[in-house]
Structure 1
Amino acid sequence: MINAMNTVNNEPNPPPVGGVLWSLVGDIRMLLTLPAALTMQVAHPSVGAGVDDHSVFRTDPWGRGERSLTSLQLWVYGGEGAAAEGRRLRRLHKAIQGTDAHGHRYHALTPSSYAWVHATGYPVFRHAQQYLGRPFTQAQERQLYAEWLQVGRVLGIHDRDMPQTIEEFWPYYRKVVENDLEVTVVVEELIAPDQPIPAPDRGPRWLRLLLRPLWPSLCPCFTRFRRFLTIGLMPPDARSALGLEWTDAQERRLRRFGRVVRAVVPVLPERLRFMPIARRARRAARG
């Protein structure tokens, strides 16, 4: 059972230590799932317009990714700082507004849009786990959804704006997928096989220096691999709604890739398997 509120300061707690998200979000395999979730988010016209108009994902993709990943880690492993991170994000999004490609006004904190951005995590986690880890049991799926709802509360999403059970979630999800999602400008860029990306400017200095001269040759391979993972780890119904082709040969290739990931990652030492914020939280939880 998740203790939803901190009884001392009446703020939402992060998901529980030792829960499904505790092992899932800090694992390096999480990095492979983020492009699919992001693409589903920006396929919503108002979300895509907000990112197109206000995000620095084109000019600073590595920094933007690092900041997003840090924020995600804090929602789960941040302890008392999780709620503070949620408040920071809401303040950040207050100024994000404009007009989408259909001439409709949007605001990043409109409940339906803000909730959709969060909601995409659950179906992507569930689908990707079939390839990258052990498929969830029904009990784990329910626990995962309950914990993801709790993360939503950390982010300031009201219970009335998110389905409160799995049985309520899937009709909501299918309605958005079938009626709202489209190939926005940002979706086109994220799945383009030849979209130029600046050389990495994050990480160890030695690695950045090594990659800089090689990046013109590596970038095309990276973008094609990103497209492959984006489409492959996206739930099939969302993929179909966006008209993204996925062949049997690609499916077999993704399954082979998944078998390698499942064999290698679990035997890595914790310092290589889990990201820094997760490692520190797991170490602190063990005392």
Structure 2
Amino acid sequence: MSSETAGAAEPVPPPPGGVLWSLAGDVRALLMLPAALTLQVAHPAVGAGVDEHSVFRTDPWGRGERSLSSLQLWVYGGEEAAEEGRRLRRLHRTIQGTDTRGRPYHALSPDNYAWVHATGFPVYRHGAHYLIRPLGPEQERALYREWLQVGRVLGIRDRDMPATIEEFWPYYRGMLAEQVERTAVVEELVSTGTPVPPPDRGPLLLRLLLRVAWPVLLPPLARFRSFLTVGLMPPDAREAIGLEWTGAQERRLRRFCAVVRLVVPVLPERLRYLPRARRARAAHGRARRAR
């Protein structure tokens, strides 16, 4: 914990019933995560850190599972959220090197660490428009305030993030204009030819079947992943990175998202929400009924 927060109350996750509480645990948020990760690693320092220190190539499924579990703790973890934030900072203490522009970097430098967190807000906003529902102005402001709360859980100081949504957009546009680029990691994440091992989690029989079928399954899955990664990235970020997107692709994306918007709301709750979110929602409901 920094000297700035020593002795202060623990940072708390966003409030139950808030905008982020609804978004982050919805299964549709899974479709937004590749775009957020790709926008993060478009920063030269973040891209270099992931390129040199991450296991995303050798253990992509485990890396994804751990990242998702961590994100869910930030929002739904209650008292566990602050400890998860401290764990992440400990994990990143030794990550340093030279970025793609020849500059020294450290993962916990305020600019780099804040950018990794900041990318979630425009991606959630854009993804919600396509997959769930457009957010109104007040909902956008609430989402940004809640995202700042998550930043505090992660140990990001208030002075290192724009304080309001009105201040966020100039910061974001400046980063797109001056920092982001098509890094090597971006290239891998949007490529349809990047080798990916079959999933190594789940029942043994399923893993064996996937291993046999993987040469046939991987190409269409890779195309779908690339399609969603580029399509659900905010258009200004997509343009800044240099990712191509056609009118035909946009029409396909809108058709796909229209189906998702129709299907997901009628699913039973156990299929609509991720496990930790579902448990948190149930606990919140019980607490409200007990009052």
TM-score (norm 1): 0.95
CA distance in 2, matches of 1:277, 1:196: 31
Determine if the alignment matches structure 1 residue 269 to structure 2 residue 268: yes
Matches within 5 A, 1:113-132: 113-132=112-131
TM superposition shift of 1:283: 1.2
Letter in 2 for 1:153: R
Identity among equivalent positions (%) equals 72
Corresponding residue of 1:4: none
TM superposition shift of 1:206: 4.3
Matches within 5 A, 1:1-287: 10-287=9-286
Corresponding residue of 1:5: none
> Could you list the per-position Cα deviations for residues 110-146 of structure 1 after superposition, in whole angstroms to 9, with x for gaps in the alignment?
0000000000000001111111011011111010000
Q: Secondary structure at the match of 2:27?
A: coil
TM superposition shift of 1:286: 1.4
CA distance in 2, matches of 1:238, 1:150: 24
TM superposition shift of 1:10: 0.6
Letter in 2 for 1:203: G
TM superposition shift of 1:64: 0.1
CA distance in 2, matches of 1:95, 1:155: 17
5+ residue gaps, structure 1, are 1-7
> Could you list the per-position Cα deviations for residues 260-285 of structure 1 after superposition, in whole angstroms to 9, with x for gaps in the alignment?
10001111111111111111111111
CA distance in 1, matches of 2:82, 2:205: 36
CA distance in 1, matches of 2:207, 2:279: 25
Q: How many residues align?
A: 281
Q: Secondary structure at the match of 2:236?
A: helix
> Could you list the per-position Cα deviations for residues 1-35 of structure 1 after superposition, in whole angstroms to 9, with x for gaps in the alignment?
xxxxxxx9611010001111111111111110001
CA distance in 1, matches of 2:8, 2:271: 36
5+ residue gaps, structure 2, are 1-6, 287-291
TM superposition shift of 1:204: 4.2
> Could you list the per-position Cα deviations for residues 201-225 of structure 1 after superposition, in whole angstroms to 9, with x for gaps in the alignment?
1234443233221111111111111
CA distance in 2, matches of 1:203, 1:267: 26
CA distance in 2, matches of 1:9, 1:104: 35
Q: Secondary structure at the match of 2:134?
A: coil
Identify the range of structure 1 (8-17 vs 121-130) with the bigger mean alpha-carbon deviation: 8-17
TM superposition shift of 1:242: 1.2
Letter in 2 for 1:20: V
CA distance in 1, matches of 2:22, 2:93: 32
CA distance in 2, matches of 1:32, 1:258: 10
Q: Secondary structure at the match of 2:97?
A: strand
Q: Secondary structure at the match of 2:111?
A: helix
CA distance in 1, matches of 2:173, 2:204: 45
CA distance in 1, matches of 2:109, 2:230: 27
CA distance in 1, matches of 2:102, 2:261: 45
> Could you list the per-position Cα deviations for residues 180-202 of structure 1 after superposition, in whole angstroms to 9, with x for gaps in the alignment?
00011101100111111000112
Identify the range of structure 1 (175-184 vs 202-211) with the bigger mean alpha-carbon deviation: 202-211
Q: Secondary structure at the match of 2:105?
A: strand
Q: Secondary structure at the match of 1:244?
A: coil
Moved over 2 A (4+): 202-210
Query: Would the alpha carbon gap of residues 213 and 272 (structure 1) be closer, same or farther in structure 2, given more than 3 Å must change?
Result: same
Letter in 1 for 2:186: V
